[in-house]
Structure 1
Amino acid sequence: MDELALPNDYASVLVRLKQRVHESRYRAQRRVNVELTLLYWQIGQVLAERTDDAQWGTKIIQRLSADLRAEFPDSRGFSPRNLVYMRSFARAWTDVTEIAQQAVAQLPWGHITVLLDKLDDPELRDWYAGQAATNGWTRSTLEHHLKTTAHLRFGAAPTNFDRLLDPASSDLAQQIMKDPYVFDFLRIEPGHAERELEQALVERIIETLGELGSGFSFVGRQMPFDVDGDEFFVDLLFFHVEQLRYVVVELKVGKFKPEYAGQLGFYVELVENQLRRPAHAPTVGLLLCTDKNDRVVRYALAGSSHPIAIASYDLLPPAEQAALPSEVDLRRALDTP
């Protein structure tokens, strides 16, 4: 059979058509998801209205579950537990006319149940729902950010962006920084070396990217740069595909020292000169250390001529960190006869 002669533009047309099919399927799935969310809200509203009626107790919900599953055997969402979630959903988001316009309507039902389980504050629920919908968080990523109080950490890292970047670029760069970063998915022992931390982050790169945030793409580890025969190595290099900028990450075990800012600034300059393209936004640096003195950090940032952020990192979520005995407590325990 003779090979079919294809038009010159066939490949590009095929790519565009594939993209349109994918986009159409995605939009259709989102519409189905919104309809399912509204249905669950409506069922929950009916149950919420009858909660005060003594006749509508647990046994009635169990009976309702059985009857709905008998009528709709292909639907898996009518378990007694899920019906209770629907009731909680209707109580948490009270206005059905607004739900379709809210971020929560774009979330899978499993995400919504996580929000209902973990949060009582309406504003926090809306914040996490918005972040999850905008950034496409998986359920595990949402659970991680809830456990690590992301709403207190996002955009909190001290930086000098406002001084060295134009306002629009500064605001965007600030949004992708956190303080502290929480690497609770790592399994490394206390007293670890910098290379051990670096290796662990790369081995769990999916979780690392999830903690860094939406838009980060991993470029490489120990990236080499040649300067007239002298070779230098950047710990971790990322590219933010939404902001079109490189992000240089340096890891330090121990407390922040002012000279670290100079080293990071040097690496930012290398990336600016050797990798950045005209279409890219300015490169920024992120230094991660175990601990820091905030006043020392401010002085170091003021003295740097490169856009950098300085943040700490934890290997445990804040709640677990707070439950650990302090250094003073440990000393007292050791001194106790």
Structure 2
Amino acid sequence: MNELLIDIRDLILAARKTVVRSVDLIQVLTNFEIGRRIVEHEQQGNQRAEYGESTLKALAQALTAEFGKGFSLTNLKIMRKFYLTYRKSISQTEFDSLPRFEKSQTTSDFLQKSRIPFWRFVDEGKTQPLSSGFTLSWSHYVFLVGIKDVGERSFYEIEATDQGWSLRELKRQFNSGLYERLALSRDKEAVKKLASSGQTITRPEDLLKEPYVLEFLGLDEKAKYSESDLESAIIDKLEQFLLELGKGFLFEARQKRFTFDEEHFFVDLVFYNRLLRCYVLIDLKIGKLTHGDLGQMQMYVNYFDRYVKLADEQPTIGIVLCKKKHDALVEITLPKEANIHAREYRLYLPDKELLRRKLAEWGEDVEDEQNE
């Protein structure tokens, strides 16, 4: 009985998810088609901006009167922008297979033509190749088309799809400057890969961000708090912290104790990354980074590598998460091959424009180095 119940329950849940996904896809495809017809109508008619505006206003009024909200002037403009943004991602063969808008210069004819239900074309299978290109809900795409940089928009679309981000999480990752923070930790080729493939994890450096943004902890930047307070806040918000860490992280322990030479030591936070197949140790520091902090983490990593990790697992990674780091200190303290990394954290969302300027300056420095 229990096995049958579980089997049927899983079937129902899977079916409901499929229905929701199908509804989302139909809405996205329909709005893409509406956007295309608007653009083609404009191209075949008067090119003056005021003509297009008046046409869209009349169209919005007529559609709203018949179908209700969702077809306002603002929404129709978004549909047009959605089409213009994503039409280049569709192959010419797929594009040519879409039903074409017949020549018409009147709004009434245009409205009549627009009443053809788009799902008819889905039933006929004509848009199946196109449907595979859209993986998110309409609300996600409304947000994505507002991102001007093509590479950045592509990155967030890939990550939102792969990680199953809700619209709220997508906005949070964008506002935290995830793309810029990852890009600043990578070389030029790796930045290009972010735009084409999203965040891929193949080496320890792929896990890192600069800085880590922990605004969800609710700690006041100006208030006094201890390392224990910071640790407790992270545990209370562990799900959000795992999302901030990135892909493949599993939580193992807090204040993980190990004993060496009859002395007890405690690692603040222990994680395991299933993609790299290695332990990731995090030590929290509320003040300025010191060489002692780095040495302590080196000892932790050495212990895990020698006594904890299995023979077929990869070397342990250590991250000292601090309020203020000193790059020169890190460089002089740690050997180049050390799997130890110091990273700053912020208790507030960063200034995206500042991150973008830093990324632009970083790109210019890379270009200068390559030209020398």
TM-score per shorter chain, which class? 0.7 to 0.9
Distance 1:307 1:239 in 2: 15
Distance 2:258 2:77 in 1: 58
* Residue aligning to 2:203: 172
Gaps of 5+ in 1: 5-9, 70-75, 159-168, 323-337
Residue 68 of structure 1, CA deviation: 3.7
1:249 alignment partner, SS class: strand
Contact 2:321 2:342 in 1 (8 A): yes
One-letter amino acid of the structure 2 residue matched with residue 318 of structure 1 = P
Cα 1:145–1:22, aligned 2, differ >3 Å: closer, same or farther?
Answer: same
Residue 78 of structure 1, CA deviation: 5.0
One-letter amino acid of the structure 1 residue matched with residue 335 of structure 2 = A
* Residue aligning to 1:92: 85
Gaps of 5+ in 2: 43-48, 95-128, 187-199, 355-372
* Residue aligning to 1:63: 62
One-letter amino acid of the structure 2 residue matched with residue 94 of structure 1 = R
Contact 1:103 1:130 in 2 (8 A): no
One-letter amino acid of the structure 2 residue matched with residue 311 of structure 1 = R
Contact 2:289 2:322 in 1 (8 A): yes
* Residue aligning to 1:43: 34
Cα 1:93–1:140, aligned 2, differ >3 Å: closer, same or farther?
Answer: same
In the alignment, structure 1 residue 255 sits paired with structure 2 residue 288:
yes
* Residue aligning to 1:111: 140
Over residues 52-82 of structure 1, what are the superposed CA-to-partner deviations in whole Å (9 max), with x where a residue is unaligned? 434413343132133245xxxxxx8656654
Cα 1:253–1:157, aligned 2, differ >3 Å: closer, same or farther?
Answer: farther
One-letter amino acid of the structure 2 residue matched with residue 174 of structure 1 = E
Residue 180 of structure 1, CA deviation: 0.5
Distance 1:37 1:93 in 2: 11
Cα 1:77–1:268, aligned 2, differ >3 Å: closer, same or farther?
Answer: farther
Matched ranges for 1:12-23 at <5 A: none
Cα 1:37–1:199, aligned 2, differ >3 Å: closer, same or farther?
Answer: same
Distance 1:209 1:127 in 2: 19
Over residues 132-169 of structure 1, what are the superposed CA-to-partner deviations in whole Å (9 max), with x where a residue is unaligned? 222332322211221121112116459xxxxxxxxxx9
Matched ranges for 1:1-337 at <5 A: 33-50=24-41, 52=49, 53-54=51-52, 55-69=54-68, 78=71, 81-95=74-88, 97-98=90-91, 105-117=134-146, 119-154=147-182, 156-157=184-185, 171-189=202-220, 190=222, 191-302=224-335, 306-319=338-351
2:87 alignment partner, SS class: coil
Residue 306 of structure 1, CA deviation: 3.9
Question: Could you tell me the percent identity over the aligned residues?
Answer: 27
1:231 alignment partner, SS class: strand
Distance 2:61 2:332 in 1: 63
Distance 2:297 2:131 in 1: 41
Cα 1:227–1:21, aligned 2, differ >3 Å: closer, same or farther?
Answer: farther
Residue 307 of structure 1, CA deviation: 0.8
User: TM-score, normalising length from structure 2?
Assistant: 0.67
Distance 2:275 2:131 in 1: 23
Runs of 4+ in 1 over 3 A off after TM superposition: 13-36, 48-55, 76-84, 98-104, 155-158
User: TM-score, normalising length from structure 1?
Assistant: 0.74
* Residue aligning to 2:101: none
CA RMSD of aligned residues (A): 3.5
2:134 alignment partner, SS class: helix
Cα 1:319–1:102, aligned 2, differ >3 Å: closer, same or farther?
Answer: farther
Distance 2:132 2:349 in 1: 26
Cα 1:43–1:25, aligned 2, differ >3 Å: closer, same or farther?
Answer: same
Over residues 17-53 of structure 1, what are the superposed CA-to-partner deviations in whole Å (9 max), with x where a residue is unaligned? 9989988886786566545423221112223344643
Distance 2:267 2:8 in 1: 41
